[in-house]
Amino acid sequence: MAQTVYNSQLDAFDLYHQIQETHEPKFSLGGPALPALGHAVAGSTGAAISNILTYPLALIVTRLQIQRALRKEAGHIPDEAYRSVQDAASKIYDHEGGISAFYAGIASDTAKTIADSFLFFLAYNFLRRTRLQARSKSSGYLPVTEELGVGFLAGAFSKFWTTPIANIVTRQQAASMLSRKQPQRGAGASIRAIALRIRSEKGLQGFWSGYSASLVLTLNPSLTFLLFETLKRFLLSRHKRSDPPPQATFLIAAISKAIASTITYPFSLAKARAQTSSRSANTKDSENTAKSEKVQGTTDSDSSKNRSGVPNNVFSTILQIATTEGPSALYEGLGGEVSKGFFSHGFTMIVKQYVHRVIIRLYFVMLKLLKRFPNPETTLEGVKENAENVVTAAQRSLRPS
């Protein structure tokens, strides 16, 4: 059996390609198997419901990530600062209208989640099928490195199209903070108003602020997989590693995801700051360079070298935060992010299983209504095909390794 590659973005689909192709026949006695689109709908629905349930945590994390940057831009009243996840929740509830304040931007973010899931699934499906066709062996699965590579490319593709929505969502989540610091930026939290503001501040490229950080974050599943395999070796006995119990799989996967999220969290923070900043990265780099020149007395010739030599990317942003605000600033809001990831993982898996059953039932009802349910001849062919698959699988298992 193919080795299962843990991928947090594929959790929503129960690793459809690896499980569906390995264990599920293309035909069942009850009728044709549910098409890939059905699994995508189930996965996207599960991800959307999970996103709604964990959205208040996401909003709090975003505000914790950006508050220091806003503080530096326009100053603030000390009492307004959020000191922890609990403190942020209390202040948002008391000062911004109760429960509804925790769901600012929920519609846009849910739409982004659904689009992200669908685009990822479609890209992953296409890329994986292409790689399987290119391989000489028809084994039905890819090596671990290729599987992770396909996941990264599919994630990069989906994030490219959904990053503009992510920019709008981040500003919706921070709208009340922006209005306190700079009223002209916080005024009007509608999608249209925010989009026009981004366009006027940064141009069209401003809609892709934070995309480079998203690419790094797309590597999170690969890191999670490596941690998952390592923890499995340490925590499980040898005879349980190939087929671990569901509870152990969930717990180890959640722990692995939490550790991976901790490692990649600075990139998430840098992305949030880039998306709420009113200035492009080029402008910020130029201003920071000018300030350092005044302090250090750098000459004009040195200045031009510095501006051309400093890379304008997410890594320089993280380095700048660490040097100016301290390493601890890179992990502000980490507790909320880890909690959100843990609950999101669990909710997605639970909801997806329920939705999957409902969609299967609706699918067969539609087949009956459209009179596309298989006739006896088709059923006999399906039985024959399944029997051949069973025989082939038995022969492979009996072959000496």
Residues contacting residue 304 through CB under 8 Å, at least 6 positions apart: none
Tell me the C-alpha to C-alpha distance, in Å, between residue 165 and each of 107, 160, 211. 11, 10, 12
- How far apart (Å, rounded) are the C-alpha atoms in residues 13 and 17? 9
Unique residue bearing structure tokens 């942003």: 317
- pLDDT for the residue 145: 82
Letter for the amino acid at 116? D
- Are 153 and 123 spatial neighbours (Cβ–Cβ below 8 Å)? yes
Unique residue bearing structure tokens 């909710």: 347
- How far apart (Å, rounded) are the C-alpha atoms in residues 109 and 53? 12
Q: What is the DSSP string of 359-391?
A: HHHHHHHHHHHTT-SPPHHHHHHHHHHHHHHHH
- pLDDT for the residue 165: 96
Tell me the pLDDT of the chain averaged across its residues: 75
What would the two tokens of residue 74 be? 């326009």
Instruction: Name the nearest CA neighbour of 8 among 396, 361, 349.
Output: 349
Q: Number of helices (H) and strands (E) in the chain: give both, helices first.
A: 17, 2
Nearest 5°: CA angle at 70, between 66 and 73? 145
Count of CB atoms situated within 10 Å of the CB of 59: 26
- pLDDT for the residue 148: 83
- How far apart (Å, rounded) are the C-alpha atoms in residues 210 and 281? 10
Predicted confidence (pLDDT) per residue in 143-199, tens digit:
878 888 888 899 999 999 999 999 999 999 988 887 766 555 555 578 999 999 999
Residues contacting residue 1 through CB under 8 Å, at least 6 positions apart: 22
Paired residues of 31 in beta bridges: 28
- How far apart (Å, rounded) are the C-alpha atoms in residues 228 and 59? 28
Residues in the chain, overall count = 401
What would the two tokens of residue 75 be? 């100053």
What single DSSP character describes residue 82? Answer: -
- How far apart (Å, rounded) are the C-alpha atoms in residues 227 and 220? 11
**Intervals of the chain under pLDDT 70:** 1-37, 39, 73-80, 136-140, 180-188, 279-312, 345-350, 352-353, 371-401
What would the two tokens of residue 279 be? 């200035």
Residues contacting residue 205 through CB under 8 Å, at least 6 positions apart: 280
